[in-house]
Every structure is written in structure tokens, then in C-alpha cells.
């Protein structure tokens, strides 16, 4: 097992790793939409989804992987009413065949974010 960490994504805000590389699989912790350079978060859910996915992409890159290696994602939304808007952004980060995915509404996301996204990627 190898810990994956990059300054191109927000640092963990608790006792967890940005990602763990298990050899054939990489498990990326949920990414909230914090811009790692500025430490800020946009208000718009589309911008938040894009930042969360950019953070995932940066962590995957540190592991030597890309978005095409993602096999499963979980999307957490503070408001399921944002589902369509997040889908638009999500589709711009992935191509067919899309990863398997779950999407759920949750009571709250750290720092008051509207979206958090985690993923599992596989090495070929």
C-alpha cells in the first residue's frame, strides 16, 4: 500500500489520506470543491463540481492515472435538485464507457460545500 498525496488538491482535513494505491486499485477520498492554491470555494454548484473533479484528477495524476482509469464514483450532493447541473459538468470530465456511479443527497458536506466526489480507479 502506498499513500498518494499532492499539493495540487486540498490537504486532508482529518485523519485520512487523499488516496491509497493498493497496486492494482487506487481509492481516492471524497474531494470537496476547495481550490488548493487559494483555499477558497465557489458558490455555484457547477463550479464546485468542476473543482471537485479537478481535485480528483490531480490526485489520480499523482498516482500515474487519469480519469479514463476511474471505474466507480460516488457523488454526494447537499441538494438532489442540483443533480442535472452536476451531471453536465461530470460528463465533461469523463467519456464512454462512463464509470459506475452512485449519487446521493446528504444532510451536510464539510465546509458547507454543495458537492463531494470520491472515486476508485484501476490500473491496467
Q: Which three cell numbers stand for residue 104?
A: 446521493
Residue 13 has pLDDT above 90, yes or no: no
Residue 111 has pLDDT above 90, yes or no: yes
Q: Whole-number mean pLDDT of the chain?
A: 97
Residue among 77, 63, 64 nearest 118 (CA): 77
Query: Which of these ranges, 4-13, 60-69, 71-80, has the smallest mean pLDDT?
Result: 4-13
Q: Tell if the pTM clears 0.75, that is, is over it.
A: yes
| Measured distance CA(6)–CA(100) in Å, rounded | 25
Q: What positions carry a catalytic annotation?
A: 103
Q: Which three cell numbers stand for residue 84?
A: 442535472
* Domain range annotation of the chain: 2-122
pLDDT at 124: 81
Domain 2-122 matching CATH 3.40.50.1000: the answer reads no
Grid cell 458537492 is found at: 115
Amino acid at each position: 500500500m502506498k499513500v498518494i498525496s499532492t499539493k495540487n488538491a486540498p490537504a486532508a482535513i482529518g485523519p485520512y489520506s487523499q488516496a491509497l494505491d493498493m497496486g492494482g486499485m487506487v481509492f481516492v477520498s471524497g474531494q470537496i470543491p476547495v481550490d488548493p492554491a487559494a483555499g477558497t470555494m465557489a458558490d455555484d454548484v457547477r463550479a464546485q463540481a468542476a473543482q471537485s473533479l479537478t481535485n480528483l484528477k490531480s490526485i489520480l495524476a499523482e498516482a500515474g492515472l487519469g480519469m479514463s482509469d476511474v471505474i466507480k464514483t460516488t457523488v454526494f450532493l447537499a441538494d438532489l435538485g442540483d443533480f442535472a447541473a452536476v451531471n453536465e459538468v461530470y460528463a465533461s470530465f469523463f467519456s464512454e464507457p462512463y464509470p459506475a456511479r452512485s449519487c446521493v443527497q446528504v444532510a451536510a458536506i464539510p465546509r458547507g460545500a454543495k458537492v463531494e466526489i470520491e472515486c476508485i480507479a484501476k490500473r491496467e
